[in-house]
Structure 1
Amino acid sequence: MVQQARSGDQWNLKLSQQLSIQAEQESTALMQELNAYLVSQEEPDQLSWKWGLNEKFTVKTSYEAMASGPFIESCNAKVWQLKAPLRILIFGWLAIKERILTTDNLTRKGWELPNICYLCRKEAESVRHLFHACEFTSLLRREITVKMPELSSCQLFQRGSFRAVILFSKHTKVRHMQLAFCFILWKERCRRLFQDKRKNVEAVGDEICQEYTSWNTLRREE
């Protein structure tokens, strides 16, 4: 069915009935969203559960979803519970949905760019590479645990998925630190790309700690 609905790299969905102006606009917006995703006929389909950790179904998350009321809220919405500036919460929301404009996402939208990580200069850039596997990110994570020894024993911050840490860590300070970590890491990536300037691991670590500390000040003022 999917193969029949696609023509080359575009979706070709033909509706039998005439749409209203509003429905036509919504249909156009939907097509734009769908065309941003590449479909490989060589890979098998996969199921995902958006209300659970790592997109895997569990009975517990199923009950939690049903208990949330008639409008089931994605677990991603937990990012809005954090006490951080709005612009950074918006960034966090986009990051955990893997919608920030990394090179691979821009390529899907039709941009012709060399797909290289601007931090390590060794591998292709994606959200998961940037916040998980990048060599610079690993060094920076170690730097933060040196600057903030209370995080040195938190394995979730050191090795866990950045998404899982932000959404599900039981320690609020760890959730805030991971969000600050990702935001400043992205800021350094953009600094290198657009300004041709760079900071070393120690300087970026200082910037993360300053950002995190400023949020603590905001929370105390509230």
Structure 2
Amino acid sequence: MDLQFSSEELGLFYAPTFMVLGDGRTALFWEDRWLHGQSIRELAPLLYLCIPKNKRRVRTVADGLAGNAWARDIRGVVGLQEIGQYLTTWQHVTHTALSAEPDRLVWKWTANGVYSARSCYQATFHGSLACHSWKLIWKGWAPPKVKFFHWLVSLDRCWTADRLARRGLPHHARCLLCDQEPETIHHLLLACPISRQAWHEALSWLRLPAPAPEQDISIQDWWTRARDATPPSVRKALRSTALLVPWMIWKHRNACVFDHATPSLPELADGIKDEMRCWARAGDQGLRVVLPPSWDVH
């Protein structure tokens, strides 16, 4: 079976590998990195383009060196630059000596040079943005849409007024809930007076020993600090609250934007309590522990 690979997949393979040349029967003359850790494609890119694809994929180093067969692979129009790269390649190839040992593929991302799935996985995500909120978002009990919302919050990808403004799209000049400050996701969820009061009422209603989040930190940082100061028996409830309250604030804000609803702290607070009961009924064991007795979830 002839496997097909994208250019990105091939790039991921070639970047961390090179050939230690032995008998030349495995290393591909035109494709593999066998010339002091480099390939013909890297040393002579214009000459490489003169080689038919079917030759690139089958010509081994041993075959190419035998009678300088590699030179006969060249096709098409050869200009001055190609001739210059041909001469350079000739100099490199002339000094190549084979041995009786088999060729050896070396994987640069492990100490012993042997491929491992772990090293490849780590390299794939090298330089990517880390989501420091993953423990709060992905390990807690919450509907998938709520977790996805918080993931967008952590990346600042929610369509609040500031994000709309950066793209020249219509937006409200101030937060629709408090009508005081420009709307950012941080202001909406943590600094808006209505949101802060909603946090306070939710935590007080559940009798969780944690203050409302400060205005100058993230939800993740607040949850980390509050968790350390919270008894283990109610930490799951604290996590659920950290996920549920911002979600309900966001829904209330969207009702104001799209349905022209009037901002209302009592309505928001009641909605948070109703949603907590729904989560408990759906399987959130943390909220089951702390919901007031009058709120039967069975």
TM-score (norm 1): 0.60
Q: Which amino acid aligns with 1:101?
A: W
Determine the structure 1 residue equivalent to 2:61.
Answer: none
2-structure distance, mates of 1:182, 1:82: 15
Task: Report whether the alignment pairs 1:76 with 2:140.
Answer: no
Determine the structure 1 residue equivalent to 2:276.
Answer: 212
Task: Report whether the alignment pairs 1:124 with 2:188.
Answer: no
State whether residues 177 and 263 of structure 2, in contact with CA within 8 Å, keep that contact through their aligned partners in structure 1. Answer: no
Stretches of structure 1 lacking an aligned partner (at least 5 in a row): 1-20, 24-68
State whether residues 165 and 175 of structure 1, in contact with CA within 8 Å, keep that contact through their aligned partners in structure 2. Answer: no
Deviation (angstroms), 1:110: 2.5
For CA contacts below 8 A with separation 6 or more, give which structure has more relative contact order. Answer: 1
Q: Tell me the number of residue pairs that the alignment of Structure 1 and Structure 2 aligns.
A: 153
Q: 1:92 to 1:166 in 2, by over 3 A?
A: farther
Task: Report whether the alignment pairs 1:177 with 2:241.
Answer: yes
Deviation (angstroms), 1:134: 0.7
1-structure distance, mates of 2:179, 2:138: 33
Q: CA RMSD in A?
A: 2.6
Q: 1:216 to 1:168 in 2, by over 3 A?
A: farther
Deviation (angstroms), 1:141: 2.1
Q: Which moved more, 1:178-187 or 1:137-146?
A: 137-146
Query: Share of identical aligned residues, percent?
Result: 24
1-structure distance, mates of 2:280, 2:251: 20
* Larger fraction in helix: 1
Q: Which amino acid aligns with 2:183?
A: E
Choose which of 140, 143, 165 in structure 1 pairs with 2:201: 143
Deviation (angstroms), 1:191: 0.6
Determine the structure 1 residue equivalent to 2:250.
Answer: 186
Q: 1:218 to 1:193 in 2, by over 3 A?
A: same
Q: 1:199 to 1:113 in 2, by over 3 A?
A: closer
Between Structure 1 and Structure 2, whose CA radius of gyration is higher? 2
1:33-182 matches, within 5 Å, as 70=122, 74-78=131-135, 79-148=137-206, 150-151=207-208, 153-155=209-211, 157-159=212-214, 161-165=218-222, 170=227, 171-182=235-246
2-structure distance, mates of 1:82, 1:145: 17
Q: Which amino acid aligns with 2:168?
A: G
Q: Which moved more, 1:203-212 or 1:123-132?
A: 203-212
2-structure distance, mates of 1:177, 1:168: 14
Stretches of structure 2 lacking an aligned partner (at least 5 in a row): 1-5, 9-120, 228-234, 286-298
State whether residues 167 and 175 of structure 1, in contact with CA within 8 Å, keep that contact through their aligned partners in structure 2. Answer: no
